[in-house]
Structure 1
Amino acid sequence: MPGERDLAMLLQNMKPEMHDGVFVFCSIPADKEVPAALRPVHLFREREGTTLVMRREEAESAGLPHQFASRLITLTVHSSLEAVGFLAAITGRLAQAGISVNAVSAYYHDHLFVPEHRADEALQLLQDMSKPNSTA
């Protein structure tokens, strides 16, 4: 089943859901393997190091330095990887409110990491954007 490409449909059907827990960003050296016991929700390898996004308690238990205490909001609409403007509309609206966001696109959905202390506000803005006749 292909994902949705139409921007209006994506915004109307995004149905944002906030996950339980606080997530943080960690980095380990690029030449070091990710410990098998870790269960990051996101992993990305860069030249400078491997980024791991995981629950804060897991990072602290593993003794990993971390930053950006955030909440994870998943946009549950099945968005196409070729959709144009979806994340731009969302991140633009959050930017207008002064809310930083780290977005991750996966095969089925887009995921937003927003500051822990602004998460409820971000969720409300996203819900408002999905209402008919919204001025996204």
Structure 2
Amino acid sequence: MTTAQRLHIVPSQFLVQHIPNVTFPEDDEWIALVRAPEGLTVVREASPFSEAERWVGFYGDAGHGLDLPGMLAAVVGPLADAGVPVFVASTYHADLVLVPEHRLKDATAALLDAGHRVEN
């Protein structure tokens, strides 16, 4: 079994926000939501006017489902080894792995060195 993946850099940029003491956002402009006791984590597309830290995403183009172990670890492991922070939003078929925009080159190099294919 191989865990090398073909990853695409998602053309959008994202914001990762924490909203304390909220269970659902006031708008519907979100990509992913995670509700926790300390509040809500929201991933949304960055607007051109946002001054918050921007994140870029890698997304596998071949769905792997929930029963194939090691797929996420194969991506985040090399990023951790390279000192690149990540935020992950998982779907049924694949994982959206976000890295800070200013670390995109480092992240891409680490993934290529690990045997993944990275495409724009």
TM-score class, shorter-chain normalisation, is 0.7 to 0.9
Aligned length: 116
1:39 maps to: 29
Superposed CA RMSD in Å reads 2.5
Number of the residue aligned with 1:130: 116
Distance (whole Å) between structure 1 residues aligned to residue 91 and residue 39 of structure 2:
21
1:110 aligned onto 2:95: yes
- Residue 56 of structure 1 aligns to which amino acid in structure 2? A
Contact kept, 8 Å, 2:66 with 2:92, in 1: the verdict is: yes
Q: Answer whether contact 1:104 1:110 (CA < 8 A) is retained.
A: yes
Match of 1:53 in 2: 43
1:120 corresponds in structure 2 to: 105
Residues 59 and 26 of structure 1: is their aligned pair in 2 closer, same or farther, counting only changes over 3 Å? Answer: farther
Larger radius of gyration: 1
Q: What amino acid maps onto 2:116 in structure 1?
A: S
- Cα distance in structure 1, aligned partners of 2:35 and 2:23: 11
Shift of 1:81: 1.3
The one-letter amino acid paired with 2:41 is T
1-side partners of 2:97 and 2:24: how far apart? 26
CA separation of 1:105 and 1:33: change in aligned 2, threshold 3 A: closer
Deviations along 1:106-131, whole A, 9 cap, x unmatched?
A: 01111100111111332343244136
More strand by share: 2
Unpaired runs of 5+ in structure 1?
1-5, 132-136
C-alpha contact 1:76 1:110 (8 A) present in aligned 2: no
Stretches of structure 2 that go unaligned for 5 or more consecutive residues are none
CA deviation profile, 1:29-84 (whole Å, cap 9, x unmatched): 33454123x32111111111111111222784xxxx95x42111111121121321
**Cα distance in 1 for residues equivalent to 2:85 and 2:108:** 13
Q: Distance in 1 between matches of 2:59 and 2:98?
A: 9
* TM-score (ref. length: structure 2): 0.79
Q: Give the share of equivalent positions with the same residue, in percent.
A: 27
Secondary structure of the 1:22 match is strand
TM-score relative to the length of structure 1:
0.71
